[in-house]
Copies of this chain bind each other. A is one copy, B any other.
């Protein structure tokens, strides 16, 4: 992992509005932190989350909120104690009596990046003072499987078993169960109706969750937040609409999709004019459920979706573990203007509970500012944030790294709050979002 004091360069002809935004976030820090405290008191944050951000200079917005984050291995080791503290607080909040945590991971046994992430997560929870075992959903796993990792650590996956209404591994059925599996393949029967505390709840798996619902909550959150600190909510909110049902293989619904694309491009163009931004709007179309960037494309005009070739249509039909694509999220594309040695760098912020615990840049080579950076098979180099996102420095300019990281942390927590409200809604306990 590159470890330097460098942070990506923000190169845009339109810095003004963003620096204004960053300065504005700094100036309103006390108001913002107080507001977040009250919001997360009303709607507790999920156990953890990572948020992919796009920094266009004139606009800073989330494009993906992952409630089953991987990538903990990419966080800077110096910031690990932050994660440990935050994990203590988050486990205590969700399950005060817990002495142990069972982690249920993805079934990837060959993806060393994922397994290093799992190992980091285990270490964080162990350092927080919990006994931790990993219970795997792999079907033919009959005994513990040890995996030696490139880092020199060793990971042990144990067969997940169920006893009455509890799940665990042999001799270990703790009251806290941490899902690090996004349930794209559906809700496994073994997890249904368990009496332990699942973090986050099953309802937040991709089998039940829709991106458009997340962004609808995000839009509610940012409209109140923007009022609080007096900014145009568009500066932090990607225009997002739902469209469907669509079947790419059978070419049904594509006309509707083209209309939606047109609508988002039109709206974006209007905002570009209002804010005097000399860019060409583009649109991201992705599956409304599922993850891993399989069914996703970047389009520059409504015609693009009408003229897809067979290969493109096949790609848009296949999502992870075979979820049917039916509804699409049509979202304003936000340019990525951060670069590291000419490679595009996309920030990802990590949270445990309501605390931002760090982040990293995905540094891509050979990609442009409009591409989706989380496409399958894409290689990226992680570049850890070397500083925390909680210590802005008012002596420095608003774009200095501690201040830019603070801005990331604010926008990421707005997405976190949207996720918290998804959880509250799934439980039928959604409180009003009052401006304070």
With A29-B129, A130-B33: A391-B84 Cβ-Cβ less than 8 Å: yes
Chain A facing B: main interface SS: helix
Hey, what's the 0/1 contact readout for A79-114 against B, CB within 8 Å counting as 1? Answer: 111101110110010001001100000000000000
Q: Check: A36 CB closer than 8 A to any chain B CB.
A: yes
A92 to B390, Cβ gap below 8 A? no
Chain copies in the assembled complex: 2
A61-94 at interface with B (beta carbon < 8 Å): 78-82, 84-86, 88-89, 92
B86 to A85, Cβ gap below 8 A? yes
From the candidates B29, B82, B85, B129, name the one contacting A37 in the complex (CB within 8 A). Answer: B129
Q: Check: A273 CB closer than 8 A to any chain B CB.
A: no
Q: Check: A207 CB closer than 8 A to any chain B CB.
A: no
B129 to A391, Cβ gap below 8 A? no
A17-62 at interface with B (beta carbon < 8 Å): 29-30, 32-34, 36-37, 41
B127 to A391, Cβ gap below 8 A? yes
B82 to A126, Cβ gap below 8 A? no
Q: Check: A388 CB closer than 8 A to any chain B CB.
A: yes
From the candidates B78, B89, B390, name the one contacting A89 in the complex (CB within 8 A). Answer: B89
Q: Check: A128 CB closer than 8 A to any chain B CB.
A: yes
A89 / chain B contacts, CB cutoff of 8 Å: 89
Q: Check: A326 CB closer than 8 A to any chain B CB.
A: no
A129 to B36, Cβ gap below 8 A? yes
Number of A interface residues, CB 8 Å?
Answer: 33
A126 / chain B contacts, CB cutoff of 8 Å: 29-30
A37 to B80, Cβ gap below 8 A? no
Q: Check: A131 CB closer than 8 A to any chain B CB.
A: yes
CA of A390 to CA of B126, assembled, Å: 10
B82 to A129, Cβ gap below 8 A? no
A129 to B355, Cβ gap below 8 A? no
B34 to A81, Cβ gap below 8 A? no
A128 to B33, Cβ gap below 8 A? yes
A33 / chain B contacts, CB cutoff of 8 Å: 128-130
A85 to B82, Cβ gap below 8 A? yes
Hey, what's the 0/1 contact readout for A118-145 against B, CB within 8 Å counting as 1? Answer: 0000000011111100000000000000
B131 to A30, Cβ gap below 8 A? yes
From the candidates B29, B41, B84, B99, name the one contacting A30 in the complex (CB within 8 A). Answer: B99
A80 to B391, Cβ gap below 8 A? yes
Write the nearest CB–CB distance from A225 to chain B, whole angstroms.
14
- Chain B residue nearest to A389 (CB atoms) is B81
- Chain B residue nearest to A387 (CB atoms) is B81
A127 / chain B contacts, CB cutoff of 8 Å: 390-392
Write the nearest CB–CB distance from A355 to chain B, whole angstroms.
6
Write the nearest CB–CB distance from A40 to chain B, whole angstroms.
10
A32 / chain B contacts, CB cutoff of 8 Å: 129
CA of A131 to CA of B37, assembled, Å: 14
A34 / chain B contacts, CB cutoff of 8 Å: 99, 129-130
A388 to B81, Cβ gap below 8 A? yes
A85 / chain B contacts, CB cutoff of 8 Å: 82, 85-86, 355, 390
Hey, what's the 0/1 contact readout for A255-285 against B, CB within 8 Å counting as 1? Answer: 0000000000000000000000000000000
CA of A89 to CA of B85, assembled, Å: 10
A388 / chain B contacts, CB cutoff of 8 Å: 81, 84
What is the interface of chain A, defined by CB distance below 8 A to chain B? Answer: 29-30, 32-34, 36-37, 41, 78-82, 84-86, 88-89, 92, 96, 99-100, 126-131, 355, 388, 390-392
